[in-house]
A = this chain, B = another copy of it.
Amino acid sequence: MKHGVSRQPHYSPVVETSFHVRYAETDAMGIVHHANYVVWFEEARSAFMRANGTSYTAFEADGVGLAVSEVQARYLMPARYDRLVTIRCWLENIQSRKLRFAYTVLDTASDQVLATGYTEHVCITPAGKVTRIPEKWREMLGQTMAK
């Protein structure tokens, strides 16, 4: 699992993660089932957190969580079993109570874009109430953006 910082012009750094397409992720059309890109987006967010030396679990340890409030994906080219794919993930936007991550899924060998998408997240208390993103987390995520 490699992750690095892309050199493409972006207002925030991009964290990359790469892995092979699993057979279980394919469907009867012979391609990766579209729901799995949503799982890949999430794994890319996990890699984004790891690249910052932290984790969702640290977030939860601070008594708040990030609930997914919206997801969108556009599918351009199919991915197939055993291909190496790279997911680029960056923080696109951060507000007081919510933030947005964006993603590009590429075929690693050809650099062809397979899909793009975003996810929006709201900060919630353990009781499920929307709350402010803790300053510590804003700073941590902000530093990522300024890297």
Contacts and interface: CB of A to CB of B under 8 A. Distances in A.
Interface stretch (A7-15, A29-37, A92-100, A134-142): A29-37
Interface in A33-49: 33-36, 38-39, 42-43, 46-47
A116 to B, nearest CB: 10
A69 B75 contact: yes
Indicate the member of A24, A47, A57 with the most B CB atoms within 10 Å: A24
Q: Interface residues of A: mostly helix, strand, loop or mixed?
A: mixed
A110 B9 CA distance: 40
A36 B42 CA distance: 13
Interface residues of A, number: 42
Contacts of A42: 22-24, 35
A114 to B, nearest CB: 12
- Total identical chains: 4
A82 B57 contact: yes
Contact of A72 (B22, B24, B46, B72): B72
Contacts of A70: 72-75
A78 interface: yes
A78 B69 CA distance: 10
A34 B57 CA distance: 18
Interface of A: 1, 18-20, 22-24, 26-31, 33-36, 38-39, 42-43, 46-47, 50, 55-57, 65, 67-75, 78, 80-82, 128
